[in-house]
Amino acid sequence: MTAPKQTSPTDSGAPSLTVPKLLTGQKALVTGANSGIGKGVAIALGQAGADVVVNYVDGDEAANAVVDEIKQAGGRAYAHRADVSSEADVAAMFARMMQEFGTIDILVSNAGLQRDSAFHDMTLDKWNKVLGVNLTGQFLCAREAVREFLRRGVVASVSRAAGKIICMSSVHQEIPWGGHANYATSKGGIKLMMESMAQELAPNRIRVNAIAPGAIRTPINTAAWNTKAAYDQLMTLVPYGRIGEPEDIARAAVWLASDQSDYVVGTTLFVDGGMTLYPGFATGG
Ligand code: BGC
């Protein structure tokens, strides 16, 4: 039997599920949390019981709306503007978090962007911007979080781990992506940064993992899903037959941040509807 395919660009048919209370009292920072995947993750961490810093760089109103949604669910939250590619901004963001929440238990390094270009036309600005935010930004935030995890160690009443870092990667840490060499390079870099950190820090009970989303309905890729033609074309790349929603990633993030995944170390969890399964080979080859 073939499962019904969702063909609408606006309704993926994804069921709404409740988020389990796995993170009560934990302190979380989500970067790039005023839209898209980061927004979904921040809200889900709040629903799971965490207090959340909602980082953003542009768009105060959207960030404040995420904060309000977390507060309505009963969690503490505030918005903090910082450019994750700036060492000074990141240091200030963590200093404030220590003041407001006292510590950090969970970092979701999500801030990321695309500046697409044919390779021969790619400017150094586009290259540096994408590497600066997507890769260096994750390095700067992870370094601050790790310093605090090492200082504080395990607090058994909070979590089995001294801290959890979730790096937001992409299917493009594996799938080469013409026209997007800067972006794919940044995600390939995240893979080995995450694995190297995980190896180095596991003895300190710090768990570092990544999520690799496929095509998720967010502002970063609107052109890939907002018309029927684009959506149908996209579905040729997604065996599961629907676009992903931010909540699909958010539920994975809650699990990876919780003690339910305590033995998961240095793994990339692909949440992509099968995009990495070479769907072109389903027939032929
Ligand atoms: C990109 C999206 C793209 C998806 C699948 C993501 O990492 O940001 O633009 O739709 O990968 O190709």
Work out the pLDDT band at 1, boundaries 50, 70, 90.
very low
User: Does the beta carbon of 261 lie inside 6 Å of ligand 1?
Assistant: no
Is the Cβ atom of 39 under 6 angstroms away from ligand 1?
A: no
**Domain boundaries, given as residue ranges, for the chain:** 27-272
CATH of domain 27-272: 3.40.50.720
- CB atoms < 10 A from the CB of 101, how many? 20
Instruction: Supply the residue whose CA is at minimum distance from atom 12 of ligand 1.
Output: 215
pLDDT band at 52 (very low <50, low <70, confident <90, very high): very high
The length of the chain is 285
CA 170 to ligand 1 centroid distance, Å: 7
Q: CA-CA distance, 186 to 212, in Å (whole number)?
A: 13
Return the structure tokens found at 155: 């607090």
pLDDT digits (tens, 9 = 90+) for 74-112: 999 999 999 999 999 999 999 999 999 999 999 999 999
Contacts of 142 (CB under 8 A, 6+ apart): 107, 109, 165, 167, 193, 197, 208
